[in-house]
Chains A and B, each alone.
Chain A
């Protein structure tokens, strides 16, 4: 399994790198790993490609299979965080649905809530406004 993943964000490389460091956008999980992060100008008007390489084999074969199945491995968490970064930078919010109120979260994939409104305190706990 590759240890690399990438996303494209619609701002300039300079702006992407600046936002990457700000408290409201900082990707805490990625920062906590030894991942290599590269910012690269995307072709045309597409913005910036952010490439993340975890640089290592995770958990051995069995652990890898389990975490891939559960969608909860390090690479899945990196992808979640990249998607949330893109949402905050482009749309200004973390996108939430009733079934996935915390927003993009690989570990939610197998245990979605039903798509109906949440009652307090679940709404607040999910981090919604």
Chain B
């Protein structure tokens, strides 16, 4: 089959590789109909995630048709149309039985490697380095889906791929970020990053009843989408004025947002000149892995007693973490890779009900063979790129 593989920093290529086979009784094989490039794939592309290996198949957002099931998979049949959640979860361990699927205790066969870096291993993830298990990803014609009896959701309605594909990651991820904010109605919520996850965090905060939702980004086309499609009430373009903290205070009458969502992660690009320059150097020389302007500003801007929700992907260590602001303002930090399996059914229902059409973020549709172009266009934000969907 053809698959998009990582072949070193800033290089991916579509190659012929063997077809996937079942490795366990609880596996299924899915023939992929649609797959997407995630902003977190750019962290791999840019070379900031350790333990990548040449030839690793990328991709963790995919859906398709079941073509084979192991003997332990009784809930799916050949021909079923499914969306596959990006965290691989066994469904049996303590974490899974408490709906903490992205920290499944069993699904990472490189747990020993992950423990050295994070203290504990988190769940396996498709196509996302060997630290998260060394699983082949879904930017391919076929994929093996472990624990197929737990993860995938069957799509039985006549809804297009584009409407349901993002249940695999970015819609639930953005939703969880908003849910962390404990919105009861009438809140001010700030969202750092108006990329695809940020768009869904904004849309979800609006759905959950926030009164004011402030989008922060450096690209006007992304801020325009945040307002016109996701429902943001205010925007901050930090390329015009980098003092995001002060602008957030002004937009909230000095209070600061009740909760702040970091939908940026480790490659934040705003921040004050000298600190940003120093961080670029440290990250480029690998002496600091996570560039942290967004998270620092989130903590500084959040109102005392508020919540900082971290859904942007981080991978290692950050310098100059504002512990004083965090502690003295009495903030709560909530974070995590999304427990997608927890949100699949309720968010699928919201798509069916017409509460939201997640396809609004798609700007580019390409054949799988053009994946290398897709990565370049997405990385450099060419042609107002927001989200690339690949068709095998």
Contact = CB atoms under 8 A, between A and B. Distances in A.
B166 to A, nearest CB: 23
Contact of B112 (A45, A76, A93, A95): A76
A97 B90 contact: no
Contact of A95 (B94, B97, B109, B130): B109
Contact of A109 (B93, B110, B124, B146): B110
What secondary structure prevails in chain B residues at the interface with A?
Answer: loop
A95 B25 contact: no
Interface residues of A, number: 41
A60 B275 CA distance: 47
A83 B107 CA distance: 10
Contacts, number: 143
Contacts of B51: 112
A103 B133 CA distance: 10
B183 to A, nearest CB: 31
B106 A95 contact: yes
Interface stretch (B54-62, B156-164, B253-261, B337-345): B54-62
A67 B51 CA distance: 20
Interface string B89-132: 01111100100000001111111110000000000100100100
A115 B134 contact: yes
A8 B146 CA distance: 23
A86 B93 CA distance: 9
Given A71-B112, A128-B24, A99 B18 contact: no
A1 interface: no
Interface string B318-354: 0000000000000000000000000000000000000
Interface of A: 8, 10, 45-47, 71, 76, 79-80, 83, 86-87, 90-101, 103-104, 106, 108-109, 112-119, 123, 126, 128-129
5 contacts: A87-B90, A94-B24, A112-B110, A115-B55, A116-B57
